């Protein structure tokens, strides 16, 4: 089950309690919960690090959506433990169209 988050939801005081309620209401081992946040809605580094660590500790996976649309995209790969990365189509199209970026494709 994938749930899309917004920064305002992540920062709410009830967020962790809401996640706990969701996890306890579902049959054990029947659902994998993935919380998806867009790169535009990413939290500040310290907030994200703490929140992502807590989410992983309760068995929730994390996905970054629209990767490649922001200015600090690559730094997220270094700083955060992510389970899924959904790369923005425009980012992929730009790499394919610009010959100067082709060498980066072979390095990946």
**10-54, pLDDT tens digit by residue?**
777 788 999 999 999 988 778 888 988 877 766 676 778 888 899
What domain range is 15 assigned to? 2-98
Long-range CB contact pairs, 78-85, < 8 A, 24+: 79/45, 79/48, 79/49, 80/48, 80/49, 80/52, 81/52, 81/53, 81/56, 82/52, 83/34, 84/34, 84/36
Distance separating alpha carbons of residues 107 and 105, to the nearest angstrom: 5
Higher pLDDT, 9 or 59: 59
28 in any annotated domain: yes
Check: CB of residue 36 under 8 Å from CB of residue 86.
yes
What CATH number is given to the structural domain containing 46? 3.20.20.450
Number of domains in the chain: 1
**Alpha-carbon span 89 to 70, nearest angstrom:** 13
- Hey, is 14 helix, strand or coil? coil
Residue 107 lies in a domain: no
More confidently predicted of 87 and 61:
61
Q: Is the pTM of this model over 0.85?
A: no
Report yes or no on 104 lying in a domain.
Answer: no
Domain annotation covers residue 78? yes
Please list, residue by residue across 48-57, b when 16 or more beta carbons sit within 10 angstroms of its beta carbon and e when fewer do.
Answer: beebbeebee
Place of tokens 């709410």: 12
pLDDT the model gives residue 43:
62
Residue 101 has pLDDT above 60, yes or no: yes
Give the rounded distance of the alpha carbon of 51 from its chain centre: 11
């Amino acid at each position: 089950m994938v749930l899309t988050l917004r920064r305002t939801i992540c920062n709410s005081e009830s967020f962790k309690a809401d996640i706990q309620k969701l996890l306890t209401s579902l049959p054990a081992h029947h659902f994998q919960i993935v919380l998806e946040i867009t790169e535009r809605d990413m939290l500040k580094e310290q907030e994200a690090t703490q929140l992502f660590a807590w989410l992983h500790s309760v068995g929730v996976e994390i996905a970054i959506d629209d990767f490649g649309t922001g200015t600090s995209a690559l730094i997220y790969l270094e700083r955060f433990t992510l389970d899924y990365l959904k790369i923005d189509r425009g980012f992929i199209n730009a790499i394919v169209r610009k010959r100067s970026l082709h060498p980066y494709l072979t390095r990946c």
